[in-house]
Structure 1
Amino acid sequence: MPISFAMQAKDDDVDARVRQRLRQLRLQRGMTLDDVATRSAIDVSTLSRLESGKRRLALDHLPRLASALSVSADELLRAPEVDDPRVRGGAHTRNQITFWPLTGDGPAGGLHAYKIRISARRRTPPAELPVHEGHDWMYVLSGRLRLLLGERDFTIEPGEAVEFSTWTPHWFGAVDGAVEAIALLGLHGERVHLHTDHK
């Protein structure tokens, strides 16, 4: 009994590996399921069910899929390559704040993380504090951050974090030198801070 369970688990591992590898190789080559189906002489609905895990891999599928994707059967059985996890993206400066992206596309909850550097020259708030939809969160790494929230004026020291609704009139800048911080911005906050001329 334990042997059959072990064999079943091994078959499941092979199935999952081929399924992931099939999809990865197909997308790398810019091929559709129809393309692979034509080249492998396997019905497109069968291929779709293989990729989604709704159908088990048959032994005769392996050489035909490998040939369709121009790889050896060994390559098809190999574990899929892990995508490069590093976040790429250049700095973006707006209104005396430089933003470095720390997250890629599609983070949880639609939030994007940035390392920000607020210039020492950003000290004068606008006559009317901006308001927009969303929520901001910041953690100060170095320097002292000045945060205006409605009628209140805060000085945030290194090692302190703040979070606030951006429906509250707000502005942030430097107290007496450049400030570095980590910021989490939702879609609306990102649009306002990075893509508009709001001060």
Structure 2
Amino acid sequence: MGSEARSGAPGVVPPPPIESRLAARLAELRTERGWSLDELARRTDVSRSTLSRLERAEISPTAALLNRLCAAYERPMSRLLAEVEAEPPQLVRVAEQSVWHDAPSGFTRRSVSPPHPGLRGEVVEGTLRPGADIAYDSPPPVPGLEQHIWLLAGELEITTGDTAHTLHPGDCLRFRLWGPTRFRCTGPAPARYALLVVLP
């Protein structure tokens, strides 16, 4: 993720299907609310040109940018991504798990157990490369969303509100999301964790 692409341009590889569907869904959400690009730019503090290129799948959103858009549209990032993925079967083989890369920030997200009709929980695997530092400054799309983070490998610092928690392999941090959060890979190896999200 993070690379620019223009579908159909000579010599340029078109964006992956999931990125094209994500761009179309973001445009639909804005249209459903009757917002102009200028109005969305005001609500997210993201430039109009960036939003326009994003909705045309010319650029890919970073995790931080996608978080701002999810806050504006009042939905968890996982739910937005689920809306552009095919309906998952009950058994999700590893080869069928959707993977999203945010290359600039060094973040990889694997949808291990994607949202499914009739189920309230989902499981995500996150990996941060050494030195990665991601701050989610926007208000959470769903205030009070329950999250459980189990560190599988590496060292990870997670800040919720004004409190920083350092996790080592096997540690689990659980909280309800009310405000900004920050994820930092503080060790020499990638930090890999499992995230359980319980939807309201």
Q: TM-score range by the shorter chain?
A: 0.3 to 0.5
Query: TM-score when scaled to structure 2?
Result: 0.45
Higher strand share: 2
Query: TM-score when scaled to structure 1?
Result: 0.45
Structure number, greater radius of gyration: 1
Higher helix share: 1
